[in-house]
A and B are shown apart, each in its own frame.
Chain A
Amino acid sequence: MLEANDLARYFDVSRPALQRLIAREPRRTLRAVDGVSFTIPKGQTLSLVGESGCGKSTVARLVVGLYPPSDGTVAFDNQPLSVARADPAQRQRMQMIFQDPYASLNPRWRVRDIIAEPIRAFKLVDGKDAILARVGQLLTQVGLAPADGEKFPHEFSGGQRQRISIARALSSNPEFLVCDEPTSALDVSVQAQILNLMKELQRSLGLTYLFISHNLAVVRQVSDRVGVMYLGRIVEQAPAETLFTTPRHPYTRALMEAIPDLDMTGRTRIPVGGEVPSPISPPSGCAFHPRCPLANDRCKAERPLAQPAGESLVACHAVEEGRG
């Protein structure tokens, strides 16, 4: 359904030209996404996980065309993304759900107008009554009542607003949904409702998801395949069960070790040392080497490429050499 090949996105974060000239500074680029490849088969969910600044949200935006890529390609249903984006009939097949349901809904619009906007824009249904009927149907589908369409966003709780966002995304009958942290602004009991709803919709409508999250436990619940990102690259990619039962990359293992777990009451863990380096001046070789317990001279000098290891794709010299 979707294929990303060596996708990259750089941002110019230089200071203004005059200041650069005075201070004799070079241009500075931030490599937010630096060579990311994946495919998502129809009806499946690929999740990208990683800490803040690893580039996962940038990938989400590249995939729906909100940013043009600096390098690499995205193919949607075997056609280049730029071609697909130019054609309304193709464009309506992809939609996005954002993190913050307080910021992504227009507070001055009634919910029915918010949900009807894509229907009107793509001219999917004709006539006021038919549109209203479709909106009612969508609201029912996400667990709200058709009468809720008359209300404004502020009358709803966070979880209900996220349901409205989902209804809006579904209104153009998409096949592919990009979900950027759809539950991280929600409380845990409500998060479970939204995750259940998304899984149900995937089953009934055959949706394909690209799911972006920093929460590994959430990712485990929804994914078929998972990519772990670190400083703009995918360091490990594997079927969800494989990744969680046999994590191979030292960073993946460190991430899992770092999560406080309910069963670990009173247990002391050994946290990973150090911090995520700046993507403006990433470390040489493998970006994880300053924090990695397995790093050696090769890791400092040479950037590891993704190699198959069992069912996984792992970018790590230590794993490749069997030092892991």
Chain B
Amino acid sequence: MTAPLLEVRNLRVEFHTRRGTLTALNDVSLTIAPGEVLGMVGESGAGKSMTGAAIIGLIEPPGRIAAGQVLLDGRRIDNLRYDQMRQVRGRQIGAIFQDPLTTLNPLYTVGRQLVETITTHLPLNPAQARKRAIEWLEMVGIPAAAQRIDSYPHEFSGGMRQRVVIALALCAEPRLIVADEPTTALDVSIQAQVIALLKRLAREKGTAMLLVTHDMGVIAETADRVAVMYAGRIAEIGPVRDIVKAPNHPYTAGLMASIPPLDRRVDKLAAIEGSMPRLSAIPPGCAYNPRCPRVFDRCVRERPDLLDAGTTRAACWLHAHG
């Protein structure tokens, strides 16, 4: 295996509130190799967006990284000063967020925003940068890019705007992209176009990607490996095929079973009873134990770490050997 581009070690993110300290992320470790797409799924509040935010250094107070390390190419980036981190963001790490309208500045033309990003991070003069910006707009599939470059964000439709955001994230040629729900705000027919685009660009440029989404269908089509988050921890991590088809953690199994199938009608969907605990009320032992159909006494007492479960690694005592 090649050396990982991104390595997250035992990351812990805490929020200090008047009612005490909430742990939003607890002991999260993962790696992403160059050219690899790691999918991250989970229910709202599971910590998937928080992981993305921690990697790009955008956790806002009162949240803070309380423990652990984030390494890009073996170099720590979680303890950089704000101005140093700004150099890493954009140049090394590109970010794509859910809502393309809030990512773009409505007062500047798309071209100006692209040129600004390119000249900040690459040794190009403004004319060269503009040429490069047009090339990027063409690459993400914007028709008549040479004319549209002087348009403002509101003159684009939602799908086109998200393409501009993708161009903006990629134009400094970062080595890692953190994409947080990049297609959630889009309609299915547009979503399919954007997924195909992201996949193609990542493959062509050898860019690594952390793809955060709650849509298992998007993950199944795009990711190489998947991390399933539950209550601030990774419940299971492994190759996408095994996570989808043969999950080893009861939560992953429940999550997969609860997705309504498109190809047949079932009389009763397999729901997981209850809901994910709030951060202020995570039960002792395994956080999933109150909802787990295969719970036993050890789950209530002791918290499982990620254990080897054959094809994947799962935080579940069912996979404890000896």
Interface residues of A (CB under 8 A from B): 51-52, 157-160, 187-193, 195-196, 199, 214-218, 220-221, 240-241, 244, 254-269, 271-273, 275-276
* B220 and A276 contacting across the interface, CB-CB below 8 Å: no
Q: Provided the pairs A255-B189, A275-B157, A275-B190 are in contact, do residues A189 and B255 lie with their beta carbons within 8 angstroms?
A: yes
Besides A190-B275, A259-B262, A265-B244, 10 more A-B contacts (Cβ < 8 Å) are A188-B216, A188-B255, A193-B273, A264-B220, A265-B240, A266-B221, A268-B196, A272-B192, A275-B157, A276-B189
* CB-CB under 8 A for A192 and B187, given A265-B244, A275-B159: no
Task: Classify chain B: how many residues form its interface, as a range.
Answer: 35 or more
B269 at the interface (CB under 8 A from A): yes
Q: With A218-B260, A265-B241 known to touch, is A196 a contact of B269 (CB < 8 Å)?
A: yes
A158 to B215: give the CA distance in the assembly, Å: 18
Cα of A196 to Cα of B273 in the assembled complex, Å? 11
Q: Which residues of A contact B192 (CB under 8 A)?
A: 257-260, 269, 271-272
The verdict on B272 contacting chain A, using a C-beta distance below 8 Å, is yes
B160 touches A262 (CB 8 A): no
- Taken together as a complex, chains A and B put the C-alpha atoms of A12 and B13 apart, in Å, by 50
Q: In the complex, which of the residues A188, A190, A264 contacts B259, with contact meaning CB atoms closer than 8 Å?
A: A188
16 contacts between A and B (CB under 8 A): A51-B187, A188-B255, A196-B271, A218-B260, A220-B265, A244-B263, A258-B192, A260-B221, A261-B220, A262-B216, A262-B217, A262-B259, A264-B217, A264-B220, A269-B196, A269-B221
Query: Which of A196, A254, A261, A275 contacts B160, CB < 8 Å?
Result: A275
B residues within 8 A CB of A244? 262-263
Q: Which of A191, A221, A267, A269 is most buried by chain B, counting CB atoms within 10 A of its CB?
A: A221
5 shortest interchain CB distances as A-B pairs: A260-B217, A192-B271, A271-B192, A51-B187, A187-B43
Residues from chain A with a CB closer than 8 A to the CB of B216 are: 188, 262
In the complex, what's the smallest C-beta–C-beta distance from B193 to chain A, in angstroms? Answer: 4
On chain A, the residues within 8 Å of B18 by CB distance are none
C-alpha spacing A294/B226, complex, angstroms: 38
Q: Which of A199, A260, A264 has the most CB of B within 10 A?
A: A260
- Given the complex of chains A and B, what is the CA–CA distance between A196 and B257 in angstroms? 13
Complex: A214 Cα to B259 Cα, angstroms: 15
Choice from B158, B191, B272 contacting A189 with Cβ under 8 Å: B272
A271 to chain B, nearest CB (A): 4
Chain A residues with CB under 8 Å of B85's CB are none
Q: Does B294 contact A (CB under 8 A)?
A: no
Taking CB atoms, residues of chain A closer than 8 Å to B272 are 189-190, 192-193
* B254 interface residue (CB < 8 Å to A): yes
B214 and A188 form a contact (CB under 8 A) = yes
Contact flag A276-B187 (CB < 8 Å), given A188-B214, A196-B269, A260-B218: yes
Q: How many Å lie between the Cα of A199 and that of B265 in the bound state? A: 12
What is the CA–CA distance of A254 and B187 in the complex, to the nearest angstrom?
12
Contact flags (1/0) for B268-297 with A, using CB distance below 8 Å? 111111011000000000000000000000
Q: Choose among B195, B256, B269 the residue with the greatest number of A CB atoms under 10 Å from its CB.
A: B269
B260 touches A220 (CB 8 A): yes
Contact B268 A199, beta carbon cutoff 8 Å? yes
Kindly provide the distance from the CB of B222 to the nearest chain A CB, expressed in whole angstroms: 8
Known: A214-B188, A271-B189. A262 touches B220 (CB 8 A): yes
Chain B nearest CB, measured from A142 CB (Å):
14
Contact assessment for A187 and B240 in the assembled complex, using a CB-CB cutoff below 8 Å: no
Query: Are A262 and B260 within 8 A (Cβ)?
Result: no
A217 to B220, CA, bound (A): 16
Instruction: Produce 1/0 per residue, B156-173, CB < 8 A to A.
Output: 011110000000000000
Q: Check if A196 sits within 8 Å of B268, measured CB to CB.
A: yes
- Kindly provide the distance from the CB of A232 to the nearest chain B CB, expressed in whole angstroms: 15
Residues of A near B254 (CB, < 8 A) are: 189
CB-CB contacts below 8 Å: B25-43 with A: 43
